[in-house]
Structure 1
Amino acid sequence: MGKSRVFAYLQLTRPANVVTAVADIWAGFTIGGGWIYYSIVQDTGADYPWLKFLFISLSTIGLYAGGVAFNDVADAELDAIERPERPIPSGRASKSTATFMAVALLAIGILFAFMVNWISGILAIGIGVCAVGYDYWGKHQQILGPINMGLCRALNLLLGISAVPGVLGDYWPIGLLPLIYVAAITMISRGEVHGKNRNALYAGAAMYASIFVAIMCFSFIGRDPNWQVVPFLVLLGLMIFPPLVKAIRTQEPKYIGKSVKAAVLSLIIVNASLAAAALGWIFGAMVMTLLPVSLWLAKKFAVT
C-alpha cells in the first residue's frame, strides 16, 4: 500500500479529532482521582498504574477512530455528491477496506477497555454502539442526533473516570457537560454545507455558555473556590466565540465550518478546564499538552 493510500485511510480516522478523545480520557482519569489512587496502589506494588492509563488511552483511540471511519462508510454515496474529495468517493480508499478497518479499530478499543476493568469494557461497548448508531441513524434525526453524538463524548469522559475503581457512581453527572457541548457542535455543523441555520447557531451559543457556568460550579463544589480554572475558561471563550459570532453574522457555510472546527479542537480546552477544576492548573496544563498535537494534525487532516 503506497503512502497516498495510507494517508487516505488515516484521513478516515480524523487524527486531530482522535487527540481530543484522548483528552476526554485524561480529564476523566484526573476527575476520578486516578493519579492519587494509582500512586497509592503503586506504593503497595499491587497494580500497574501506567498500564491502566495507557490501556484506557489506547481504548479511546480505537473507539473514536473506528467510529469516525464508519461515518465515512455510511456517507459514501452522499459524499460522492457533496464532498467528492473525501477518501472513499475519490477512490483513494476502498469502502470494503474502510469497513474492515473501522470494525477492527472498534474491536481493539473495546479489548483495551476490558484490560482495564469490566466496567470500562461495558462503557466501551456503549461508545461503539452509540458511534455506529449515529453514523447510520442518529445524524438524520433533528433532535436525537445531537444528543446521540453528545452521548458518545459523555461516555468517553466516563470511560476515563471508570479506570479508577468505585468512583463512577459519584462522578457520572459530569458526563452531561460533554454531552451538551458536543450536541451543540453537532447542531451547528448541520449548516456546514448549505448555511442559513441562525437559530441553531444561537442555540449552540447558549449551550456553550451553559458549559462555562457548569465548569465554574464544579470547581466550587465540595471544596474551596478553585480560581485556577479561570484562565482555561478564558482561553476556551477566545477559541469558540469569535468564529461563532462571525458564523452567526454571515450565515456562510465557510464560516460555520470554521466555527465547528474551532469548537471540536476546543474539546481539549474543555477537558483541561475540567481537570483544572478538579485538581488544579497543573493537571489542566497536562491535558493542554494535547492541544498543539491536535492543531498540528488539523493542518494535515480534515477535522469535519
Structure 2
Amino acid sequence: MTRVADYLDLVRAPASLTVLGDALVGALSARGPGGDGPLRVGALAAASVCLYSAGMALNDWADADLDALERPERPIPSGRINRDRALAVGVGLTALGVGAAFAAGRRSGLVSVALAGALWAYDTAFKPTAAGPVVMAVCRGLDVMMGAAGPGWRSALVPAGAVAAHTVAVTAISRGEVDGSTASTGRVAVATSVAVAASGLLGRSNRSAAVLGGARYLAAVLPGQFAVARDPGAARARDATRAGIRAVVPLQSALAARAGSPLATAALLGIEILSRVLGRRRSTGDIT
C-alpha cells in the first residue's frame, strides 16, 4: 500500500523548500519590497513548489529502469509507487503549478508554461546529454523570472542569472553521484560559485548586505566543491550535490538582502533552518 511518505520521497519533499525563494527574489528584484501583494507572492511560491515537485516525479518516471540498477531504494524500483502513478503525479503537479502561476497574473502564467516545457524537456530528453546542466539552469532561472514577470522585470535578470549559474555547477557535480565526478568539474564549480557571489555587487544593490550574504553562501557551497576538486569520487559528489541544493537558500537570502528586504531575508533564513531540521529528521529518501 502506497503511503503519503512514499509520495514525499518521490517528489523529494525537503528539497521543495529550496524553491520557495525563487519567485520572491524575482519579485523583489523587479519591483522592490512591497511591490507585490502577499496573495500574488503566495500563488507564485505554490507554483514553484508544484513545478519543482513535478520535475522530481518525472525524473523518477523517466529514470525508472536506470534507478532499478543504480538506486533501487527509490519509490518506483522499490515497488512503493508504480511508474504510471508517478507519471500521473508529474502531470497533475505540472497543471497545478501552471494554474497557480496564472492565478498570480497572466505574464507569470506565460513564464510558467515555458518553465514547464523546459522541465519536461530536461527529464525526458536533455538530462543525460551534455546540455543537461544548462537546461536545468534555464528551469531555475525561469522560476525566478516567473516572480519578476511584469513591470521592472529586467532588474531581475542578474539574480536569475546567479541562481541559474549556481544550478549549472550543482547539476554538473550531481552527474557524478554514482560513478564519480572529475577534479576539473569541482574546480569549475568553485569558480562559478565565486562569480555567483560576486554578482550580488552588480547594479543597484545594498553592497554591505550583498557582501555578507555572498560570504554566507560561499561558506555553504564551497567546502563540498573543494572536496570534489581534491577527491572526485561518488561519495564526495553526492555530499557536494546535497550541500549545493541546500545552498541555494542562502543565495536567495543574499539576493533578497541585495534587493533591500530584511523581512524576506529573515523569512528565507527560517526556511533554511527548517530545511536542515527536516533533513536531519528524515531517515529515508534523499534530496538529490
Q: TM-score range by the shorter chain?
A: over 0.9
Distance 1:196-1:115 versus aligned 2 partners, 3 A rule: closer
1:289 aligns with 2:270: yes
Measured in 1, the distance between the counterparts of 2:154 and 2:232 equals 42
In structure 2, the residue matched to 1:72 is: 60
SS in 1 for 2:34: helix
In structure 1, the residue matched to 2:184 is: 199
1:212-250 deviations in Å (ceiling 9; x for gaps): 111122xxx236x52023222222111111122222222
Measured in 2, the distance between the counterparts of 1:277 and 1:111 equals 30
Taking the TM superposition and a 5 Å limit, the aligned residue runs for 1:151-230 are 151-162=138-149, 165-217=150-202, 221-222=203-204, 226-230=207-211
**TM-score normalized by structure 2?**
0.93
Distance 1:285-1:190 versus aligned 2 partners, 3 A rule: same
Cα deviation for residue 193 of structure 1 reads 0.7
Measured in 2, the distance between the counterparts of 1:207 and 1:95 equals 36
Contact in 1 for aligned 2:26/2:156 (Cα 8 Å): no
In structure 2, the residue matched to 1:61 is: 49
1:138-187 deviations in Å (ceiling 9; x for gaps): 11111x1111000000000111222xx31214433432111111011111
In structure 1, the residue matched to 2:109 is: 121
Where in structure 1 do 4 or more consecutive aligned residues deviate above 6 Å? Answer: none
In structure 2, the residue matched to 1:11 is: 9
Q: Where do 5+ consecutive residues of structure 1 fail to align?
A: 39-48
SS in 2 for 1:140: coil
In structure 2, the residue matched to 1:42 is: none
1:246-284 deviations in Å (ceiling 9; x for gaps): 222222211111111001101011111111111154432
Task: State the one-letter code of the partner of 2:125.
Answer: W
Measured in 1, the distance between the counterparts of 2:204 and 2:192 equals 25
Q: Provide the aligned C-alpha RMSD in A.
A: 1.7
Task: State the one-letter code of the partner of 2:286.
Answer: A
Measured in 1, the distance between the counterparts of 2:181 and 2:253 equals 32
Distance 1:33-1:198 versus aligned 2 partners, 3 A rule: same
Identity %: 27
Task: State the one-letter code of the partner of 2:270.
Answer: T
Taking the TM superposition and a 5 Å limit, the aligned residue runs for 1:244-259 are 244-259=225-240
Cα deviation for residue 289 of structure 1 reads 1.6
Q: Where do 5+ consecutive residues of structure 2 fail to align?
A: none
Return the match for 2:137 from 144, 150, 169: 150
Contact in 1 for aligned 2:185/2:229 (Cα 8 Å): no
Measured in 1, the distance between the counterparts of 2:181 and 2:241 equals 15
Q: Which has the larger radius of gyration?
A: 1
Contact in 1 for aligned 2:170/2:245 (Cα 8 Å): yes
